[in-house]
Each structure stands twice: as structure tokens, then as C-alpha cells.
Amino acid sequence: MNNQRQEMDMGFTQEVIPECHHLCLIYDSEEQRRKIVSKYLAAGLKRGEIVRYFSDTTAPDDINAWLSEMGIEPREDDSFRIIKAESAYCPSGSLVPQQIIDNAVARYAMAKEAGFSGSRVCGEMTWVLRGIPGSDRLLEYEVGLNMIENDFPHIGMCQYDARLFDGVTLFKVLQVHPFMVAQGQIVRNPFYMRPDEFLKQLKPG
């Protein structure tokens, strides 16, 4: 097993991020979000990764149009799929963190077997605001992603609309993402807490 981490091209910046990591995009501009997300998805497809987009408020046709404007026509195969966010995060009707984490690990195994170079996911998190059962376990899910031990190259980016989420929630979101996107650049998050530390805070005693 190769324990040396490679670096993954994010597409929207010349900076790179170590593979097998998890970052957040907190935005307050649709134009900004579109620019970052479209380039992030395009970079994954160009690199031969398996790419998944979990959409809540953005129409699939719009996402495909973003890619088309960048000269990429998504192929009708397993390399790129747009999935309804609620179905992706709550396939059983509620958010069960370990279930979604297990699904991610299964996707890595499938992608590796199929010859993809890595796995790239981008998810819109506004579904959490609708009170879906288990949505109060969001942070448990987010911190669990940082505890995945798998050497297949993977990257995930969670989108949080700063106009809709309150400040307390956004601060907690920052605590569970080792990297963040700020002003279109990748920043090592100064608010990030190690999973064991965060879980102690999340479940005191």
C-alpha cells in the first residue's frame, strides 16, 4: 500500500489539496458558487475520476450546462451522475451517518475496480434545513468523513449557503472541515478540530 498522499487538482485554483480530504465551500454569491463548483467538477472528469453531484436546489440541466460551457459534455456512463441530495444523504428516509459513510467507501471500491483514478463528490447541504429525520446528526456525518481510512484517492466538497445557515451552525461546520474555500482559494482551516476532539464536544460526558 502506498501511504504517500498525492495531490488533487481542484480546478478553480492553482493550489492543490492532499487526496483523501474533505473541504467546505461557504458562499453568499451564486456567481461565485457556480464558478468554483463547475471548475471543481470539470477537473475531476478531466482527471478520469468518478464524479458525483448531490443536488438540492440546482436543476440537473443547469449543472450540465455549466460543464458544457467549459467544453465538457458529461458522458452517459458511470463517470458522472447527478443525484437528488435527499436521496444521496437519506436513502432510507433519514440521515444515518454510518450508512452514508459506508456507501462512500463502497463507491471507492467500485471506482477502483472500474479503473477510475479517484472519486470526487460535491454536495448541496440546504436539504438539512427542511427538518428531514436525522438531519440533527449532520455534524456526526461530517466528522465521520474525516475518519475514513481508505487509500483510494477521494475528495469531497460540501456547499453551505451563508445566507440560509445561521452563524453558529456555520462555525460548527468549519470545525469539521480541514480545508475551506475562501475568496476562491483553498485555505487550511484554522477552526478545524481533530475528530476525537470534536466528538467529545459534540457528545459531552
In this predicted structure, what is the pLDDT of residue 187?
Answer: 86
* Amino acid, single-letter form, for residue 86: E
Tell me, what's the pLDDT at 79?
Answer: 92
CB 39 within 8 Å of CB 173: no
Q: In what order do the strands lie in the sheet with 119-124?
A: 80-84, 50-55, 119-124, 154-161, 21-27, 179-182, 185-188
The residue segments making up the domain with residue 54 are 18-202
Give the pLDDT confidence score for residue 10 in this predicted structure.
84
Question: Does 1 map to a domain?
Answer: no
In a domain, 12, yes or no: no
- Give every residue of the chain whose pLDDT is below 50, as ranges: 1-5, 205
At residue 67, the pLDDT reads 93
Query: Does residue 5 fall inside a structural domain?
Result: no
Q: At 71, list the grid cell.
A: 467544453
Q: How many domains does the chain have?
A: 1
Q: Is residue 152 part of a domain?
A: yes
Q: Domain for residue 9, yes or no?
A: no
Any domain includes 113:
yes
The pLDDT assigned to 119 comes to 94
> pTM (2 decimals)?
0.91
- What per-residue confidence (pLDDT) applies to 18? 64
- 82 in any annotated domain: yes
Does 2 reside within a domain?
no
pLDDT at position 55 is 97
Question: Which domain CATH number covers 48?
Answer: 3.40.50.300
> Shortest CA distance to 123 belongs to which of 63, 194, 200, 65?
63
